[in-house]
Structure 1
């Protein structure tokens, strides 16, 4: 059987790959594994579950709740809430487990199941592997009063909104940190459709909301953080100061400045790093980013005296690096931003609030991002390649070394073997698009020839 857990939980085509039966079995297995690891010792276990707006989330969340309750776990069902809300609520309610039913930015037919442990932290790989090994096992079922209760808990969304409201007030040291700011919010017809605009309004912003009418079928459909054109047009049309776009589960945020130009995750991380450094809140003046963050971010942070620690792609690996080093800020180019004092996972709504507060304090977003250039980047996927020999083949490494020598400090080369396919990704950044394309094609040709299967 193919491995169920990927880098962000279990995902697949809902009701085909990800069925109600599998959802029940995953929930039961998670309850058993955590119980045997002592997570439930001495008390009746409790879980928080939430979902995005996909129609399939209705039956999948019901299945997860049923599985947990059948294993003796009480369930607080928060309904439609963002992923970071479930992470926060898992900690704030002192729950033993959090479960999100969402496929994030994926198309509507997909869905996923993601688990958080105590405190709202994603489960370690070893725990996920243990859960996967127990799926579908025979087990002795509790009866009577030992079965879990399922309690609809929609008011928990208000607790999350109050949490991010307090975080941005502390960041800005103002009671109305977004006062006077006109923000266009693209909610992607997803989990942030209600709480996203509400949180920004509570902080004092004037809101124009687009794509916040979920019908179960339209999540991420040409809108949100992966389709920014509607937001760009709306910001210009309404003369807004800022636009923010979430994905389906609102764990990521990208922005648009007052002229309609896109501000990506690297630029957001850069401006927040400077803001936190100036406030004395950036631990060891260090930002955690992934290997895919643009060289322009590295150059800008170097000028600011801010170090960058690189992590593997995926916000869980960013968080691991942050926890290992005690760092306070990290994220990804895609808009997953983690502020350790206030979140244990990417939080798009908190990111939008912090960016908005910075615009109020320091002026237009465009001006603040002016020093964080995005160098031309070319990515070529070389298919049918032996990914295991990427870092050992002498000709491949010689080709990479030659390009790195020619680029010097003005560019970057990265070879990433796929974790699931016979594929090698060749990424080159350079001062010009032509240089990036030329060098990427040259390396890709060597990879294709030397590593062909």
Structure 2
């Protein structure tokens, strides 16, 4: 049986095995006990187990004396915006991101509309293990009401970041693949508001995924062929909770998730978003940093994880940020990875430059990332890091989130996963062969 993964960012497990209504209720009861008074927004992606978990979670929050704003099916970044728009004390998103159908999970938001920081998340996690709850008396039970349009505020904030009229004049033909997750509702609405001729695939949030939910090249071969065959100028591919975006160009070529952030940074620099640094995590491609440097903008690297990126962005008044898994973070919209920001701003970039996506992608710094993973006990990591430091003594080393080794033209990251009992090895270089060779050497040093 797979273990329930509980971290500072929430929990994730297999429904009916490691994740039950009882666990979900106790987890959100700890959440309710640790945040200020006020209503709590609850949303979910399209998974078939979402309605059941949603009913249990909303009942538990009511039992803690909390009024609940039921957003129904909504994307993760939409929940972040909605928390702020409705002056809520926090938010609960029911989603397992790109995990397979048997999984579901819970992601928590604070009153600022961002995913909880590590300190707050640790307090709730510890409260769950300690049985902390805020159950109330019979005459203090909260109520639940459905939000009539949870998407409109998010839509307006995304549109405000681009030149809407310029994009509308292009009348782009686009394809959006939401894979029956949460992204199709707002995604189609956004693209139609931008004057696009939209071919929507998997727009209905049934949770019955048409392909493996993580938006990688191997999982999107059918979608890529469809983009090329339909003469669309771009294909937008979301993960189930729509905080990640992969791109396919007009020729059916998978541009990927790393390029999503790099193109958004390119556009941000182009429109003068240069009054602060950009923030990316230690596993994100250097493409975005190279683009920023060309405009005199500093790049800061945080630990892996959306909350860590957001923390560093806020602390340094960053102009832009995100993670290389297809998650741009625009402070003008919210400190949450956002596929809708990516769609709108890439279309804006295409409209401003008059260039097709294939050309824009080819003009990015050409780097290759290679990734491996191995089942290694976390207790072995200190010894592994020491062996790596001794072997790669010419590298600039950074610790705190695994071990990151940086050279002038390449880097290697070895870290324990936050969501799986594995160690990840990630390298980037000018060629995939060189990046793979770095990972192979590191893999050979995992065991003495």
Q: Aligning the two structures, in what range does the TM-score lie when normalised by the shorter sequence?
A: 0.7 to 0.9
**Partners of 1:417 and 1:279 in 2: how far apart?**
38
Pairing 1:191-340 to 2, within 5 Å after superposition: 191-216=182-207, 218-219=208-209, 221-222=211-212, 225-226=215-216, 227-284=219-276, 286-340=277-331
For 1:378, which of 370, 376, 394 is the aligned residue?
370
* 1:118 to 1:422, Cα distance in 2 relative to 1, 3 A: closer
Distance 1:325 1:401 in 2: 31
Is 1:91 the counterpart of 2:90? The answer is no
TM-score by length of 2: 0.88
For 2:437, the equivalent position in structure 1 comes to: 438
Q: Structure 1 unaligned runs (5+)? A: none
Distance 1:305 1:266, change over 3 A: farther
CA–CA separation in structure 1 for the residues paired with 2:4 and 2:202: 35
Residue number among 112, 116, 133 corresponding to 1:123 in the alignment: 116
- Quick one: distance in 2 between partners of 1:266 and 1:178? 28
CA distance in 2, matches of 1:402, 1:133: 40
Tell me, in whole angstroms, the C-alpha distance in 2 between the residues paired with 1:366 and 1:63: 46
Equivalent position of 1:172 in the other structure: 163
In structure 1, what is the equivalent of residue 337 of structure 2? 346
Q: Secondary structure at the match of 2:371?
A: strand
1:261–1:89 Cα change, 3 Å: same
Q: Report Cα offsets for 1:247-295 as digits up to 9, x if no partner.
A: 10111111111112222333222222232223222333x3211111224
Quote the Cα distance in structure 1 between the aligned partners of 2:419 and 2:14.
18
CA distance in 2, matches of 1:138, 1:311: 33
Q: How many Å separate the matches in 2 of 1:140 and 1:223?
A: 37
Aligned length: 432
What is the DSSP-based 3-state SS (H/G/I as helix, E as strand, rest coil) of the residue aligned with 2:337?
coil
Match of 1:15 in 2: 16
Deviation at 1:4, TM superposition (A): 5.6
2:142 to 124, 143, 148: 148
SS of equivalent residue, structure 1 residue 26: helix
User: What's the C-alpha RMSD, in Å, of the aligned pairs?
Assistant: 2.7
Residues 8, 121 of structure 2: 8 Å contact kept: no
Tell me, what secondary structure is at the counterpart of 1:239?
coil
Q: Specify the SS of the correspondent of 1:448.
A: coil
Q: Is the 8 A contact 1:4 1:132 kept in 2?
A: no
Any conservation in 1 of the 2:99–2:214 contact (CA below 8 Å)?
no
1:334 Cα deviation after fit: 1.0
